[in-house]
């Protein structure tokens, strides 16, 4: 008896949709945690990372919370491909903004490490979202 199985690297549209929803959900979760931390512990975040403005930190943190809610709701949407594309565009804008911050803001050592790690994680989310989006059924 011969059994034929798909290679481990193949992704069916149904599997791609599930994985895309999972990536979007984790993206939303990490954004919610980061945004919540920035709102709850603004002064500590500003001091530890070497940021210049508590006001901007609160604004960006609130934006992250709103982004997280939007992405989480979008991950449950029937327009998953559109949600993934829009989320990836925003993620790539975050990566570009991170590069600008690293080049122009005098962050502490910890602030630079956090900015680079966060930027790389967000870039990974964007690439994974675009990857799984490209494998959705048409």
pLDDT band at 37 (very low <50, low <70, confident <90, very high): very high
Q: What is the pTM of this model?
A: 0.87
- Gap between the Cα atoms of 3 and 15, Å rounded: 21
d(CA 118, CA 52) in angstroms, rounded, equals 19
What's the CA dihedral at 131, 23, 77, 85 to 10 degrees?
Answer: -40
pLDDT at residue 8 is higher than 80:
no
Cα separation of 96 and 64, whole Å?
16
For 67-136, give the DSSP string. HHHHHHHHHTSS-HHHHHHHHHHHHHHHHHHHHHHHHHS---HHHHHHHHHHHHHHHHHHHHHHHHHTTS
Beta-carbon neighbour count of residue 21 at 10 Å? 18
Angle, vertex CA 137, rays to CA 70 and CA 2, nearest 5: 130
- Split at pLDDT 50, 70, 90, the class of 137 is confident
More confident residue, 9 or 113: 113
pLDDT of residue 12: 80
- Whole-number pLDDT of residue 138: 62
Residue 95 has pLDDT above 90, yes or no: yes
Residue 52: the pLDDT is 85
Q: In the predicted model, is pLDDT for residue 41 greater than 70?
A: yes
pLDDT at residue 5 tops 70? no
The predicted structure's pLDDT at residue 13? 76
pLDDT for position 119: 98
Q: Mean per-residue pLDDT for 8-31? A: 88
């Amino acid at each position: 008896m011969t059994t034929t199985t798909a290679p481990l690297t193949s992704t069916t549209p149904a599997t791609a949709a599930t994985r895309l929803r999972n990536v979007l959900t984790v993206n939303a979760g990490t954004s919610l945690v980061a945004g919540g931390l920035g709102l709850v512990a603004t002064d500590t975040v500003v001091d530890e990372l070497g940021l210049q403005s508590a006001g901007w930190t609160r604004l960006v943190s609130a934006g992250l919370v709103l982004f997280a809610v939007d992405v989480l709701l979008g991950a449950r949407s029937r327009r998953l491909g559109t949600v993934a594309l829009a989320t990836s565009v925003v993620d790539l804008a975050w990566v570009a903004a991170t590069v600008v911050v690293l080049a122009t803001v005098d962050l502490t050592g910890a602030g630079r490490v956090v900015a680079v790690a966060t930027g790389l994680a967000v870039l990974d989310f964007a690439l994974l979202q675009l990857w799984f989006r490209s494998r959705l059924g048409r």
